[in-house]
Amino acid sequence: MVYKIGMRIVDARFLKSVDRYEGKGREPLPEICFIGRSNVGKSSMINTLVARKVARTSSIPGATRLINLYQVDYEFEGLKKSLIVSDFPGFGYARVPKEMREGWQQMIEAYIEDNRAITQIIWVFDVRREMDPLDEMLLEWLSANGIGFRLVLTKIDRETRSAVAQKKIRFQSVTGEGNPPLLFSAKDGQGKHELLSHIARSAKSTFSRD
């Protein structure tokens, strides 16, 4: 079982908040982006993964307005490494005015298109929800741009085991056989080690979009 090898977090710290990609011309660290609906648990997931409270969380949707960048130092397969984690503002929050929603979408798309160091998108999805047209748009956009992503079904502590298992199978038919959804709970830490190993392996992959 590959995930037992494990990624060990050494340190994690906030770098800065940005509204565009600022790293042109610099030697980039591999970057893993956390995206998903508003209030789904992106910031909580990051905090649980790094075992520190680096990202601001809130029960009020729309807590994260800019793209927040964190540097994570870790050990994996006996080597010391670093990567960037980016915490994105949630999309699809109905109470935000239309122009602002479109602005967010443009910011997110431009950032991902400009930043060639992104090796993986972690798409955070509430296990209790179904995909709607907005999610399908995201799925199409990721596929059309050849951006590697992994769907992570979160808040699994809120559902029965059998409901979680059924959802996993159902979403796998959307994400593809070789790309099964991962399961996670920020509340009790289920799925944390599998997701960490996935992230460490993704950070090793070459930048496939160049």
Contacts to ligand GTP by CB under 6 A: 38-44, 57-59, 61-64, 89-90, 154-155, 157-158, 185-187
Residue nearest ligand GTP (C-beta atom): 90
Of the two residues 76 and 171, which places its CB atom closer to ligand GTP in the complex?
171
Of the two residues 7 and 96, which places its CB atom closer to ligand GTP in the complex?
96
Which among ligand GTP, Mg ion, none contacts residue 68 (Cβ within 5 to 8 A by kind)? none
Distant-in-sequence, close-in-space partners of 6: CB < 8 Å, separation ≥ 6: 76, 193, 196, 197
- Does position 44 interact with Mg ion (CB under 5 A)? The reply is no
Of the two residues 43 and 185, which places its CB atom closer to Mg ion in the complex?
43
State how far the alpha carbon of 2 is from the alpha carbons of 5, 6, 167, in Å: 6, 8, 24
Cβ atoms 55, 47 nearer than 8 A: yes
Stretch that binds Mg ion, among 42-50, 156-164, 177-185, 193-201 (CB under 5 A): 42-50
Query: Per DSSP, what are the bridge partners of residue 36?
Result: 124
Structure-block tokens of residue 108? 């997110």
- Does position 115 interact with Mg ion (CB under 5 A)? The reply is no
State how far the alpha carbon of 96 is from the alpha carbons of 24, 61, 101, 104, 109, in Å: 31, 10, 6, 10, 18
Closest separation between CB of residue 99 and ligand GTP, Å?
18
